Amino acid sequence: MTYYPPRLTVAKASDGLTTSTSPRAAVAGRASQRLHIAAVALGGVLLALLLALSAKHPVLGPRAISPSILSPAIGGDFADPAVLVVGDDYFAYATNAAGKHVQVARSTDLRQWVMLPDALPHLPVWASAGGAYVWAPDVIQIGAQFVMYYTARDAAAGRQCIGVATSERPAGPFRDDSAQPLVCQRALGGDIDASPFRDGAALYLYFKSDGNCCHLPTTIWGQRLASDGLRLIGAPVALLTNDQAWEGDVVEAPNMLQHDGRYDLFYSGNDYASARYAIGFARCQTPLGPCQKPLDHPMLASDPTAPTPLIGPGGASLFQVGDATWIAFHIWMGGASGSVGGVRSTLIEQLIWTGDIPEPLAATAEQ
């Protein structure tokens, strides 16, 4: 909540504090002055306390958006969200649902969202028909063009692979005229969950090899992109694998964030269709690693006791609003208390740092 401190006004002689030669008037005047000084001092103490609280939980963004997860920002079936800031508008993209290959919604305040037409109405020739296998889109603006990375079923390989589409508008329609996927490590089970990242003039793409589809290891990769975002440069670099107990057999949904000169790679682990699904992060020395996990547990895990019960949080997307960092992610909604069920809806809240460890603000609200 935005706090505007009270204006402190120091009275002057012209405001009614006058002097008098009468002893009684002089005493009254000195008492009035002491009361006034005490009030100003108290106001200063209160202001200092408020500023200290603001330093811990700062006022956020040009619109002073209040952080909250009390209700889904985007309800209904809106999974694997990615948020793009374009001027004063926000665009959120999500996995197929409601008869659309790629869902897209628009907002001016991160709270009220308007659903728009299918952002990718036509699939490329290499993709299997039907939208059930179109997952986890993400969009970056490069010059005057918007570039979307998305997952679809490669008809030839029978695996999930990553395509790239372009549009002149953030809402689309996006178009992919390519004859083959941008990324498709067929021998590793295919690839999903592509996410672009800009570091100065350099562009990178992060993705996951989908080994859990066919009893193979899962790995999160990073690779340089050409300046137009439409071609890969060099070879992919393995950054993370599932080597912690909470991750189970899966790490996926990578999303890189640069903060205070550090590179933090957020990701999801475990089975997306369970309450064990959770969000972790790794700290990387460069956009292409090496990366290490500073925690042995998730950054954000299921919490059925939260005001909005968090069941299977995952698919995180990080974005900036002014000086504040925000995180969008999905949870299961509609299941029995503490269980998976219904649909995956999107929550959006502020991300803060305790020391150098990131955590959603709501996770610390009652601490």
**pLDDT, mean of residues 190-210:** 98
Which pLDDT belongs to residue 308? 82
pLDDT digits (tens, 9 = 90+) for 141-192: 999 999 999 999 999 999 999 999 999 999 999 999 999 999 999 999 999 9
- Confidence (pLDDT) at 338: 74
Q: What SS3 string covers 270-328?
A: CCCCCCCCEEEEEEECCCCCCEECCCCCCCECCECCCCCCECCCEEEEEEEECCEEEEE
Could you tell me which of 347, 345, 341, 343 has the C-alpha nearest to residue 275?
341
Taking the CB of residue 249, how many other CB atoms lie within 10 A of it?
14
Taking only the tens place, the pLDDT of each residue in 84-131 is: 999 999 999 999 999 999 999 999 999 999 999 999 999 999 999 988
pLDDT of residue 19: 34
Percentage of the chain lying above the pLDDT 90 cut: 71
Which band of pLDDT confidence, cut at 50, 70 and 90, is reported for residue 82?
Answer: very high
pLDDT at position 35: 42
Whole-number mean pLDDT of the chain?
Answer: 84
pLDDT reported for residue 339: 82
CA angle 303, 193, 120 (to 5 degrees): 115
Strand pairing class (324-334; 135-142): unpaired
Q: Where are the chain's structural domains?
A: 13-56, 82-364
Matching CATH number, 82-364, of 2.115.10.20, 3.40.50.11890, 3.40.50.2000, 2.130.10.10: 2.115.10.20
Tell me which of 78 and 31 has the higher pLDDT. 78
pTM of the model: 0.82
Burial class, 167, CB count within 10 angstroms (exposed 0-12 / middle 13-18 / buried 19+): middle
- pLDDT, position 306: 85
pLDDT digit string, tens, across residues 309-318: 899 999 999 9
- pLDDT, position 50: 39
253 neighbors 270 (Cβ within 8 angstroms)? no
329 and 316 Cβ atoms separated by less than 8 Å? yes
Of residues 7 and 82, more confidently modeled: 82
Angle made by CA atoms 193, 309, 62, in degrees to the nearest 5: 65
Predicted local confidence at residue 363, as pLDDT: 55
pLDDT tens string 318-350? 999 988 999 999 999 988 777 888 999 999 999
**Separation CA 85–CA 64 (nearest Å):** 15
pLDDT in tens, 11-59: 333 333 333 333 334 434 444 454 444 444 444 544 444 344 444 444 3
pLDDT for 1:
32
Q: Judge whether residue 269 has pLDDT over 90.
A: yes
The pLDDT of residue 40 is: 43
SS3 per-residue string spanning 149-180: EEEEEECCCCEEEEEEEEECCCCCCCECCCCC
